[in-house]
Amino acid sequence: MMKCIAVTNEKGGVAKTTTTVNLGAALAEMGYSVLLVDMDAQANLTLAVGADPQEIRVTILDILLENYPSAEALWKPTKIERLHLLGGNPSLNLAERLLPHQPGYETLLQKKLPFIGARFDYVILDSPPFLGALMSNALAAADTALIPTQAEFFSIYALRNVLALIRRIREQYNPTLSYRLLLTMFDQRNRIHRTLYQYLHDHFAEGLTETVIPIDTRLRESAIAGTPIIQHAPKSRAALQYRVLAQEIIHHVEETLAQPA
């Protein structure tokens, strides 16, 4: 059965896109078929797998608005086996204006997901960095929200907004939605990072992943190269930790799905 993960946070620059591409690539390496969906007009996810946003003809917005030629292939393969991309381009900027005119607009993706994702084991959504129509669609459709955050005071403060949105989406559309916070760009030698890690651990005990992603400049290089870290620097610490994260997420999703609603 297909599982859907929404990688989301109201903040930009917290490693949402990095986490989407590298979690996806790690799952594909383990043998799962994966669809990455770029929901951000910046199209960073599209670039991160080496695709060209200008060549993307159909985005998730076109699918939600049923505005695409039916013969068009919706997704493309990437250079990683089993890893596919439903790409993004700047037309996604129109989403916040167009979607709210549709009836039941926050559940459009939830309704379309079986059609988009049926042939995949995992669909991973890279959401834009604001609480809007695309983010609510992602959360209404997902089994799990994965929320990357830096160990910085402002990042942790910003979590309250996305967690409030998760509560509302649960109440209205998606009662079984679970979430996990993922600490990224973590520097073990930094005292503030260690203190904030402890704070998150104490306040979000069940909501924090055991896996932490270390700061690793090879992740920056791999994004520029348009190649996921497991292929760009397979033995780096970041590649290792994204593989460990993939194991943890598989476990979490399966455990959550096994529970009665």
3-state secondary structure of 150: strand
For Mg ion, which is the closer residue by CB, 45 or 165? 45
In the region spanning residues 216 to 235, those forming contacts with ligand ADP, defined by CB under 6 A, are 216-217, 219-220, 223
Binder of residue 241, out of ligand ADP, Mg ion, none (CB less than 5 to 8 A by kind): none
Per-residue contact string for residues 17-36; x = within reach of Mg ion by CB under 5 A: x-------------------
Binder of residue 18, out of ligand ADP, Mg ion, none (CB less than 5 to 8 A by kind): ligand ADP
DSSP state of 180: E
Binder of residue 15, out of Mg ion, ligand ADP, none (CB less than 5 to 8 A by kind): ligand ADP
Calpha distance 166→8 (Å, rounded): 10
Residues 44 and 18 sit within 8 Å (Cβ to Cβ): no
- Nearest distance in Å: CB 151, ligand ADP: 11
In the region spanning residues 73 to 132, those forming contacts with ligand ADP, defined by CB under 6 A, are 129
Residues 15 and 67 sit within 8 Å (Cβ to Cβ): no
3-state secondary structure of 38: strand
Query: Quick one: which of 133, 129, 178, 136 has its CA closest to 155?
Result: 129
For ligand ADP, which is the closer residue by CB, 85 or 215? 215
Two tokens, residue 70: 């039916």
Point out which span in 10-18, 108-116, 134-142, 202-210 binds ligand ADP (CB under 6 A): 10-18
Calpha distance 103→46 (Å, rounded): 29
For ligand ADP, which is the closer residue by CB, 88 or 107? 88
For residue 83, the cross-strand partners are 34
- Nearest distance in Å: CB 25, Mg ion: 16
Report if residue 25 touches ligand ADP, rule: CB under 6 A.
no
In the sheet with 144-150, reading across from the earlier edge strand, the strands are: 76-77, 83-86, 34-38, 122-126, 3-7, 144-150, 178-184
Report if residue 44 touches Mg ion, rule: CB under 5 A.
yes
Binding site for Mg ion (CB under 5 A): 16-17, 44
